[in-house]
Structure 1
């Protein structure tokens, strides 16, 4: 499934974030090497809480398009944080409010640096799905127009906190060649799961900068489903129509919670450091539950998970999503960043850049062995002109919401919903 949500200027900036490393273009290393800072636990908690609030606020807008969808709020946050590093004035304030960046510039980037280091350390020795090793990789890069001047302070900040060195391309002379170079990088870093992130025409002669963040995930279940236990089952769509799906089954001790109008189950990945949390609203209550879901509610649900014996039935599914986030982010409170009034003077020394669009693509596949997931985000900018001992049965036979989280930090890496496993 693919779902698309829906100023003549002197130059452009594109920031790209992809959810999995080669070297494209000439890379100019900063004098400031990346080092993992010592961030207080309270600041890390504040960062993750804000990111979760942003993830669910964005969910409320993306769901209006209908159908299945999947995205990486972590990827989007990192890409926009690298852009935010150059924002000033009202642009900076609106971006901070919309993205729930409450720590301030200096602390924010250090906290994201520390969170990135924590995420990249997961899964040592663990297994992935389909006989592959466990993989959770996050990497950043900067793509700049050759001979264009960027502030050293901005480049140093990104190098020190995001490990991103400047790679030079010639957008002015060969915009399509530059677009292909970046798209090829994204495809390689996501094991070819994200193709053609930047659509034709998105890179122009006036493009001057592209920031990339890549994350790729392949995790095997800590307790895999037996393939011979998978049988045809019924999944009831929101309109009441049944469809036949491949329904997996296992009876295991799993994290489980039940509250007013929902059940939730947690499936850990091998190594016990990441997990998928699935939230199943009660029959007839999906839309009302979804409308009220926010960061506070999600943290409450996850906090209520307790180990118990669960007879779990859940469908296999695989799909991809594609969005333009410009309208959603504007509606969430940062419209000025997309106008001539934008102030990204922290990038070039003058307020001559604006965000032209934010694009996002993602992929997820869930089966008996585990999960493979990838996502990519591009920010395109132009210059201005169960508790107890009794078994619990949970049959996921209707639309549900799911997320993939880093257990230790609580960071939500991916979020989505399944309305029809066959789409």
Structure 2
């Protein structure tokens, strides 16, 4: 969205750092693809609650280019709010309460502080809530199981447990096990457990191609699975991360956002990302309903593979139809919120 209002090197740095090759893909095609992706993700579904949005909070006196406003509304369905930034605490409260409401209270205090010179805040938010196609029975959740943090420390976590048929595979090239669990609807979760000491190697190799490879590699089989029940939250100050990716000019005196406003000089001062994810017996949010499945097959039933997610693992939530990754994270300590 920001690239729509950026010009010269500022624009190029944003798009190239996000992996777009402007000689192969013209800029309008990039925005149209995002527009299409957002529309497909917003398609209503009875099985899952997926809400996303973009909001621009702008200083009342800021004179915006009509073209920029039209484009962010048309392509990204962004809302625009006129905001009084003369009181940074009031503006911060307005932004945080809006995001909290849109994410059903999951993302709180997104903005920790605003500089007195702030004239514009751009916020993207996503809220995801779904139920497992094959839910866990809370009665089989072990209240206190060891989970290895680092090389030697263990913490106690509630460990969900079930024996079911899931798509599963071992990637011998990367030395990791991949379990696919489906949500009701079109979303799948990939739980990826690297071999001891192989997390760095796995992170380096992550790519869209790798995901496709896993999708083809996995086969349905009986699995006895142990997965921690957890709620995790992570916040990132992107003003330290984005320049390392190549988005530098946007944050300093070389910034060119003349596509947003011609009258004033704008530069980025803060970029924040916060994600919250709950994984429980029912799905991604704890629910009061009890699972109807009460059978754990006896050990002398069909032979099965045992997979224990009792140390650091990766988790990806993917929309099947578009192969869009909605969430990607590393669970290092499920007790930390």
| Greater Rg by CA | 2
**Does structure 1 retain, via aligned residues, the 8 Å contact 2:63–2:263?**
no
**Does structure 2 retain, via aligned residues, the 8 Å contact 1:176–1:203?**
no
Deviation at 1:371, TM superposition (A): 0.7
Say which SS state the counterpart of residue 283 (structure 1) adopts.
Answer: coil
Structure 2 CA distance, aligned partners of 1:351 and 1:98? 26
**Is 1:337 equivalent to 2:250 in the alignment?**
yes
The residue that corresponds to 1:86 in the other structure is 5
Structure 2 CA distance, aligned partners of 1:355 and 1:104? 25
One of 46, 53, 71 as aligned partner of 1:125: 46
One of 32, 38, 54 as aligned partner of 1:116: 38
**Does structure 2 retain, via aligned residues, the 8 Å contact 1:275–1:405?**
yes
Deviation at 1:146, TM superposition (A): 1.5
User: Aligned-residue CA RMSD in angstroms?
Assistant: 2.1
The residue that corresponds to 1:217 in the other structure is 128
Structure 2 CA distance, aligned partners of 1:325 and 1:212? 13
The residue that corresponds to 1:130 in the other structure is none
One of 190, 194, 212 as aligned partner of 1:277: 190
Paired residues, number? 315
The residue that corresponds to 1:41 in the other structure is none
Deviation at 1:390, TM superposition (A): 6.0
**Is 1:265 equivalent to 2:179 in the alignment?**
yes
Structure 2 CA distance, aligned partners of 1:293 and 1:368? 27
One of 208, 225, 228 as aligned partner of 2:119: 208
Structure 1 CA distance, aligned partners of 2:8 and 2:167? 45
For structure 1, list consecutive stretches of 5 or more residues without a partner in the other structure. 1-81, 127-133, 374-388
The residue that corresponds to 1:131 in the other structure is none
**Is 1:160 equivalent to 2:74 in the alignment?**
yes
Superposed CA deviations along residues 43-95 of structure 1, whole A, max 9, x for unmatched, are xxxxxxxxxxxxxxxxxxxxxxxxxxxxxxxxxxxxxxx11111111111111
The residue that corresponds to 2:155 in the other structure is 243
Structure 2 CA distance, aligned partners of 1:203 and 1:190? 25
Superposed CA deviations along residues 143-197 of structure 1, whole A, max 9, x for unmatched, are 22213211101101011111224321221x3232122111110111111111111
**Does structure 2 retain, via aligned residues, the 8 Å contact 1:248–1:313?**
yes
Superposed CA deviations along residues 121-164 of structure 1, whole A, max 9, x for unmatched, are 15x222xxxxxxx3111122222221321110110101111122
**Does structure 2 retain, via aligned residues, the 8 Å contact 1:230–1:247?**
yes
The residue that corresponds to 2:317 in the other structure is 404
Deviation at 1:207, TM superposition (A): 2.3
One of 366, 372, 390 as aligned partner of 2:279: 366
User: When the two structures are superposed, what TM-score results if normalisation uses the length of structure 1?
Assistant: 0.70
User: When the two structures are superposed, what TM-score results if normalisation uses the length of structure 2?
Assistant: 0.87
Structure 2 CA distance, aligned partners of 1:236 and 1:214? 32
**Does structure 2 retain, via aligned residues, the 8 Å contact 1:85–1:105?**
no
Structure 2 CA distance, aligned partners of 1:217 and 1:89? 36
Higher relative contact order (CA 8 A, sep 6+): 1
The residue that corresponds to 2:237 in the other structure is 324
